[in-house]
Structure 1
Amino acid sequence: MSAFDVRDILKTAVAQQAGQGREAVPPAETIAPVRPEPVVSPVVFTGCVRAVEFGLVALAGLCAQRWLLAGTVPLHLGYVGAILGLATLNVLVLQALGAYGIRAFRAFFSVGARVVLGWSLVMLLAATMLFFAKLGDQYSRLWLMSVYGGGLALLVVERLALSLVVSAQMRRGRFDRRVAIVGGGEAAEALIRAIEAQSDSGLKVVGLFDDRSDGRSADVVAGYPKLGTVSDLVAFARRTKVDLIVFTLPISAEARILQMLAKLWVLPVDIRLSAHASKLRLRPRSYSYLGSVPVLDVFDRPIADWDVVVKGVFDRVVGAVLLLMLSPVMLAVGLAVKLTSPGPVFFRQKRHGFNNEIIDVYKFRSMYVDQCDYTAAKVVTKGDPRVTPVGRFIRKSSLDELPQLINVVKGDLSLVGPRPHALQAKAANTLYDQVVDGYFARHKVKPGITGWAQINGWRGETDTNEKIQRRVEHDLYYIENWSVFFDLQILAMTPLALFKTENAY
């Protein structure tokens, strides 16, 4: 959805409300239900293109060797090394020539010429290396010429198809980063003009948010509507897609910025402070850039781009393997639940997932069916009469959590992450988010079956404020220090942590 679509939506909504005599709703509420196209990470997409072109060059070399030299020259290590070397060198040369990037993929003719030049340079470098290393007689000249021609044809056709695909996806906004601007006035207008001046920046402004009163903050800045306050922005980003928040406030407004950041840091988005209109000039390395617009980094989304791919693949593959391996145990637990108390085997409960989305989480039923607490309004305590005898065992041993592997395979949960809490979960009769400031920052990543808090003993009953505070502290530590190795460490320690059952009822 482009920025112009946002303004069209607002105009249509206002006209409809006026025609029907309805009370006006906040602009953010009008736009939020409109879900944009799913976004493709440019970083991941570019990496995939590199891998494809590496494969195409390798394919050209392998096919040329098999078709031209089959029966005369075997595919020995020398040819394998040469094929892999040409493929690697091609990627490096094209990277140096600026042929990788969403905008480069779109421009077939100008960038296509660089691809031809780059591939020709690769073959020239390869021929030169063979000459000076006196290895020319070990490789067929016909093979080298065939690799050059075949590789060139494959790369050109691939780039033509790539330009058509990328152009179509860019028109749909699939590579756009949706930007919300915090602040107004001349600074916000200057930033918007700078973004709009870069037709290939990939940034789409969705609107402005400002806590100042209407008397000091215009309703429209550079043609973009003011959609509400910073509190409205939090709700807006929960309901629709926002990738980036940029502050246009001066650095000198420290107190005001900190006050706003206290509300916004719980969101899984990048937050930047615009330096475009600032009189303060730092060294160029101090800035990151949105196109050519300098910004200062404040917060980064903790898991993004390739990290999302790696964690997602890891979760689904390992989750599916565990589901298969533990299926006999799950079958036994399911039979025990079914045979010892009437009602369904599984218990489905709504919980907060990534970015506060509501998800259905599966568990083995551990309570009598007429006493199941679907919102966790009442904390389960030691000797709770609602829990069945089998339920006490599977809760204490965490066997009731095994069906959540289904959630992992579906993509609702991760193997490792902050535990998903029920909607009405409480500590000392107070909702979790009212006990801990920034509680919802736990949802900046996908929740998990196990986590750093659980293996450190903070699982089970939360009958005091301290228990949920310590749990959240561990969750935030995990989010800020995430890595694949950290996940593996937590998974390895989870079986040992299950023996700590003093708080699990």
Structure 2
Amino acid sequence: MTSGPSLSALRLRLYVLSLIADLTVLFGAFALANLLVIGRLVGEPAKPHGLVMFAMIAPVYALLAIQAGVYGIRSLGNVRATVLRACWSFAQAVMLMLVIVYFGKIAEQLSRLTFLVGVGFGVTGLILLRPLLARVVPALIGEMPAIAVVMADGVAFVPPPGTALLDAVALGIDPTRHDAEMAARLAAAVGHAERVIVACPSERINDWSIALKSLEARGEILVPELMRFAPARLDEYDHHPTLVVAGGPLQYRERIIKRLFDVAVAGTATLLLSPILLLTAMAIKLTSAGPVLFRQQRLGRDARLFSIYKFRTMRTDMTDHAAAQLTQRSDPRVTRVGGFLRRTSMDELPQILNVLKGDMSIVGPRPHAPAARAADKLYWEVDDRYWERHCIKPGITGLAQVRGHRGATNAHQDLIDRLQSDLEYVTNWSVWRDIRIVLATLRVLVHDKAY
């Protein structure tokens, strides 16, 4: 790799250029607001104007934006995340300004319209500036160094796109030689990368561990033997290193957000769908003997059993509470009303109550009965990863369902297909993805795999 300018120098250029661009945009936003509202840049005598507002907000925004990582090298490759960080930093700066104005008792001197227009222009400018910076900045400050490089030493490894791959043998790097020349050769090869990952045979791990310690960069070694524990990370207990093989997919803050989302959606749905729920209950009661609701034991979070609620769709004397026999097409156990409810997914509506109780979420892996099978095997006998889907609450809908992986599991592949989607959801959760899945569910409420 070429030496080029140091990573510190490039970072400084990036910070200075990006910060100047942001402050210029905010200055222009409040100056334009002042011009449009008051008709002049300097405002009326003895009345704070847009430029004064900019002077109050700008230094606070700069500090918050730097703290939030708005100007990091990684920000150039993730425009969306950088936009959110910049807007949040600006919002915090604006709120702090309002606090100062209120306690300083200068609110009466403040042009409220100028303030609102300036804030609106400021947010718009920050949003439009991010993709522009991602295109222009690399050309202005020089070639950006690789953040991460992979050093392959005698093993075949294909890194993800955009990651530099170095061949230790071709570069003449021998980790068993712990001398100054080899340390300098290694440093020149990795350049100014922040992260160096080495793929090597297990017998050379100790040598590479010594060699990587001479670098300023973070050194890591790929250990294929640990793949069976993935996702895993290292920690310690009483000064002894431990391998963390499970820790739950959601942070506490994320669990709170997901629960608030569940309660908001389930509460709203209960109010809006109450007429449909009542009419469905009446139709079930009038057309077949037995209770309106069907309760069944399902596996929930932490693999704990809970009672799931569904509208009863089968004849009472033929109901399969253990789910030992999956429903088939033209199943004689299903009532006429039940068949309609299953085809339209309306039999799942009472699970809103499970969400309000806290047993389920709006979005998550669908809960299964303990006796459910894929062909001739219980679900967890088909794939060892099955239990990983139980680290979060099950959902009324999920990623597997909107992708069409639903209905009877007549073959092992039927379970594996939906398991792949469940694990993808578990490891890549976000509230925005929950919203997209809910909206996508509306398109697949009626499907040909429900019977």
2:261 aligned with 1:314: yes
1:452 is matched with 399
Which runs of structure 1 show a deviation greater than 4 angstroms over 4 or more consecutive aligned residues? Answer: 136-140, 251-255, 290-300
Q: Secondary structure at the match of 1:438?
A: helix
Q: Which has the larger radius of gyration?
A: 2
| CA deviation profile, 1:65-98 (whole Å, cap 9, x unmatched) | xxxxxxxxxxx999xx9xx99xx99xx9xx9xxx
| CA deviation profile, 1:212-234 (whole Å, cap 9, x unmatched) | xxxxxxxxxxxxxxxxxxxxxxx
1:383 is matched with 330
**Deviation of the 1:383 alpha carbon:** 0.8
Q: Secondary structure at the match of 2:416?
A: helix
2:450 is matched with 504
| CA deviation profile, 1:100-155 (whole Å, cap 9, x unmatched) | xxxxxxxxxxxxxxxxxxxxxxxxx99xx99xxxxx89599xxxxxxxxxxxxxxx
2:409 is matched with 462
**Deviation of the 1:498 alpha carbon:** 1.8
Give yes or no for contact 2:326–2:408 (8 Å, CA) kept in 1. Answer: yes
2:290 aligned with 1:343: yes
Q: Secondary structure at the match of 2:259?
A: helix
CA distance in structure 2 between the aligned counterparts of 1:258 and 1:478, rounded to whole angstroms: 20
| CA deviation profile, 1:45-82 (whole Å, cap 9, x unmatched) | xxxxxxxxxxxxxxxxxxxxxxxxxxxxxxx999xx9x
Amino acid across the alignment from 1:426: R
Q: 1:492 to 1:138 in 2, by over 3 A?
A: closer
Q: Name which of 420, 423, 428 aligns with 1:473.
A: 420
Q: 1:495 to 1:138 in 2, by over 3 A?
A: closer
| CA deviation profile, 1:401-427 (whole Å, cap 9, x unmatched) | 000000011111000010001111112
Q: Secondary structure at the match of 2:295?
A: strand
Count of equivalent residues = 258
Q: Secondary structure at the match of 2:296?
A: strand
Give yes or no for contact 2:233–2:245 (8 Å, CA) kept in 1. Answer: yes
CA distance in structure 1 between the aligned counterparts of 2:265 and 2:250, rounded to whole angstroms: 19
Q: How does 1:10-25 map to 2 (within 5 A)?
A: none
**Deviation of the 1:442 alpha carbon:** 1.0
CA distance in structure 2 between the aligned counterparts of 1:480 and 1:303, rounded to whole angstroms: 9
RMSD: 4.2
2:214 aligned with 1:273: no
1:488 is matched with 435
| CA deviation profile, 1:457-504 (whole Å, cap 9, x unmatched) | 111211121111101111111111111111111100101112322x11
| CA deviation profile, 1:235-263 (whole Å, cap 9, x unmatched) | xxxxxxxxxxxxxxxx99974x556x37x
CA distance in structure 1 between the aligned counterparts of 2:394 and 2:373, rounded to whole angstroms: 18
**Deviation of the 1:300 alpha carbon:** 4.7
Amino acid across the alignment from 1:504: A
| CA deviation profile, 1:366-393 (whole Å, cap 9, x unmatched) | 0101111111000110011111111111
Q: How does 1:247-258 map to 2 (within 5 A)?
A: 255=225
CA distance in structure 2 between the aligned counterparts of 1:139 and 1:385, rounded to whole angstroms: 74
Q: 1:480 to 1:139 in 2, by over 3 A?
A: closer
**Deviation of the 1:352 alpha carbon:** 0.4
Identity of aligned residues (%): 43
TM-score (norm 1): 0.45
Amino acid across the alignment from 2:422: D
Q: Name which of 413, 419, 422 aligns with 2:366.
A: 419
CA distance in structure 2 between the aligned counterparts of 1:344 and 1:77, rounded to whole angstroms: 69
2:279 is matched with 332
Q: How does 1:57-76 map to 2 (within 5 A)?
A: none
2:315 aligned with 1:368: yes
**Deviation of the 1:355 alpha carbon:** 1.1
| CA deviation profile, 1:15-69 (whole Å, cap 9, x unmatched) | xxxxxxxxxxxxxxxxxxxxxxxxxxxxxxxxxxxxxxxxxxxxxxxxxxxxxxx
2:356 is matched with 409
CA distance in structure 1 between the aligned counterparts of 2:423 and 2:105, rounded to whole angstroms: 61
CA distance in structure 1 between the aligned counterparts of 2:343 and 2:382, rounded to whole angstroms: 26
CA distance in structure 2 between the aligned counterparts of 1:340 and 1:364, rounded to whole angstroms: 13
Amino acid across the alignment from 2:255: V
Q: 1:137 to 1:362 in 2, by over 3 A?
A: closer
CA distance in structure 1 between the aligned counterparts of 2:320 and 2:279, rounded to whole angstroms: 24
Q: 1:138 to 1:360 in 2, by over 3 A?
A: closer
CA distance in structure 2 between the aligned counterparts of 1:77 and 1:385, rounded to whole angstroms: 77
Q: Secondary structure at the match of 1:449?
A: strand
CA distance in structure 1 between the aligned counterparts of 2:295 and 2:308, rounded to whole angstroms: 6
Give yes or no for contact 2:266–2:356 (8 Å, CA) kept in 1. Answer: yes
Give yes or no for contact 2:365–2:422 (8 Å, CA) kept in 1. Answer: yes
2:389 is matched with 442
Q: 1:496 to 1:254 in 2, by over 3 A?
A: closer
**Deviation of the 1:429 alpha carbon:** 3.4
**Deviation of the 1:318 alpha carbon:** 0.9
Q: 1:374 to 1:272 in 2, by over 3 A?
A: same
TM-score (norm 2): 0.50
Q: 1:429 to 1:297 in 2, by over 3 A?
A: closer
**Deviation of the 1:354 alpha carbon:** 0.6
Amino acid across the alignment from 1:386: R
Q: Name which of 378, 396, 419 aligns with 1:431.
A: 378
2:317 aligned with 1:356: no
Unmatched tracts of structure 1, length 5 or more? 1-75, 96-124, 131-135, 141-250, 266-270, 277-289
Q: 1:496 to 1:137 in 2, by over 3 A?
A: closer
